């Protein structure tokens, strides 16, 4: 993709030369992209569609640690974080913009690696990169991505539509990204104490990929549309199941009941959590970064989704005055509290 093999200082190209160098590989695939990179602004045409826009900011040593996060994976993940928000509105992502703040320690080849991941994500999810910015940074690497998407006016789904009696569903499995992070952090500490020791990551590919290379759930949006199921509410799971459930309950002015034995947890996540003396359920409730979709559906749609192995029904919506709670495997009711990752407490 990029041909440079030796380290090249960014000042050799300058800002505009760097932008031209990084964006020359871009291919436009969306009909809604009238004009992409190369002018003062992108031009998009979403005739008869609701336009969706979402932005996330990733900061070195706050959201990622370059001691164990490969740059290509970082670029890929940065895109997924944003696409996930579009899919959580029942929409389809179609364009992104990318802005990067780079410190002097990064040669051009390092920035190319980030862009390799970004462009791979664009290719895999059929998204156009249509603009952005680059600047210098004194605080380490900064990546800001804005995702743009669309949805038919009658298909957009908010957090605020859940009703008492609706079923609570989740895609995929939960907790894997958090447990993968714990594994990486353990190996980092071992390395810092003894750089001669090789990391022990064998057989843990699944949870490592959940952390380093998550996949936003566009397929769930497509699946639900094919099943003719319009969720009553939706949100992506970025900060943990508990936090996202409470967001839906607050926005919809309802309560909820979920069942611990219904929460989908992969065996590798479960056993690795136990090895770390962590409660797998707590990892699923509060770990975050799974980027699965949490949604509610009318009970009449249950038969349409009940046989799909990638969708789990984990509970139901109740009246607001009943509160938000989880029924444990032993039948005890526990109030759900938001203990997801807080960016400002790191």
Query: How do residues 262-309 score in pLDDT, each as one tens digit?
Result: 999 999 999 999 999 999 999 999 999 999 999 999 999 999 999 999
Q: Please tell me which residue, 134 or 213, carries the higher pLDDT value.
A: 213
Is 211's pLDDT higher than 50? Answer: yes
E strand residue ranges, the chain: 33-35, 43-44, 50-59, 92-102, 128-136, 142-151, 167-171, 233-236, 255-259, 293-297, 311-318, 324-327, 333-335
Query: In this predicted structure, what is the pLDDT of residue 346?
Result: 43
Q: Is the pLDDT of residue 208 over 60?
A: yes
200 falls in which pLDDT band (50, 70, 90)? confident
Q: Write the CB contacts of 291 (distance below 8 Å, at least 6 apart in sequence).
A: 80, 81, 84, 177, 214, 215, 216, 217, 236, 237, 238
On whether 330 is known to bind a ligand per the annotation, the reply is no
- The answer on whether 40 is annotated among ligand-binding residues is yes
* Mean per-residue pLDDT over the chain, rounded: 89
Q: Is 236 annotated as a binding residue?
A: yes
Percentage of the residues of the chain whose pLDDT score is greater than 70: 88
CA distance 252 to 335: 18
The reported pLDDT for the residue numbered 343 is: 44
279 is in an annotated binding site: no
Q: Is 56 annotated as a binding residue?
A: yes
Whether residue 239 is annotated as binding a ligand: the answer is yes
Q: Does the annotation flag 186 for ligand binding?
A: no
pLDDT classification of 36: cutoffs 50, 70, 90: low
Q: Is 341 annotated as a binding residue?
A: yes
Residue 289 assigned ligand-binding role: yes
Q: Which long-range contacts (C-beta less than 8 Å, at least 24 apart) are formed by 13-22?
A: 13/108, 15/134, 15/135, 18/108, 18/111, 18/134, 19/132, 19/133, 19/134, 21/108, 22/111, 22/112, 22/115, 22/134
Residues 97-119: what's their mean pLDDT?
91
Res 19: pLDDT:
55
- Is 238 labelled a binding residue? yes
290 annotated binding-site participant: no
Q: Is 219 annotated as a binding residue?
A: no
Question: Does the pLDDT value for residue 219 go beyond 60?
Answer: yes
């Amino acid at each position: 993709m990029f041909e440079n093999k030796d380290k090249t200082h960014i000042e050799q190209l300058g800002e505009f030369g760097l932008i031209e160098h990084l964006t020359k590989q871009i291919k436009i695939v969306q009909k809604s992209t009238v004009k992409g990179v190369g002018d003062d602004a992108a031009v998009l045409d979403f005739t008869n569609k609701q336009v969706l826009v979402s932005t996330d900011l990733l900061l070195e040593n706050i959201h990622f640690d370059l001691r164990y996060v490969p740059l290509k994976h970082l670029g890929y993940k940065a895109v997924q974080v944003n696409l996930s928000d579009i899919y959580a509105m029942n929409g389809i992502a179609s364009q992104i913009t990318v802005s990067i703040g780079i410190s002097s320690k990064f040669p051009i080849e390092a920035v190319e690696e980030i862009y390799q991941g970004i462009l791979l994500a664009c290719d895999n999810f059929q998204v156009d990169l249509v603009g952005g910015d680059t600047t210098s940074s004194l605080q380490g690497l900064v990546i800001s991505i804005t995702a743009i998407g669309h949805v038919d006016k009658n298909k957009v789904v908010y957090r605020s539509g859940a009703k008492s009696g609706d079923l609570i569903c989740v895609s995929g499995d939960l907790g894997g990204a958090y447990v993968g992070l714990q594994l990486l952090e353990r190996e980092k500490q071992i390395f810092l104490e003894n750089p001669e020791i090789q990391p022990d990551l064998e057989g843990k590919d699944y949870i490592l990929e959940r952390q380093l290379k998550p996949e936003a759930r566009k397929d769930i949006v497509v699946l639900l549309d094919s099943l003719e199921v319009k969720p009553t509410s939706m949100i992506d799971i970025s900060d943990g199941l508990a936090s996202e459930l409470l967001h839906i309950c607050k926005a919809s002015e309802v309560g909820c009941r979920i069942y611990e034995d219904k929460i989908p947890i992969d065996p590798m996540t479960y056993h690795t959590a136990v090895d770390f003396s962590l409660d797998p359920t707590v990892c699923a409730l509060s770990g975050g970064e799974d980027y699965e979709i949490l949604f509610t559906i009318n009970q009449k749609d249950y038969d349409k989704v009940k046989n799909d192995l990638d969708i789990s029904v984990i509970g139901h919506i109740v009246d607001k005055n009943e509160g938000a709670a989880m029924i444990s495997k032993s039948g005890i009711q526990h109030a759900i509290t938001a203990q997801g990752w807080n960016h400002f407490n790191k």
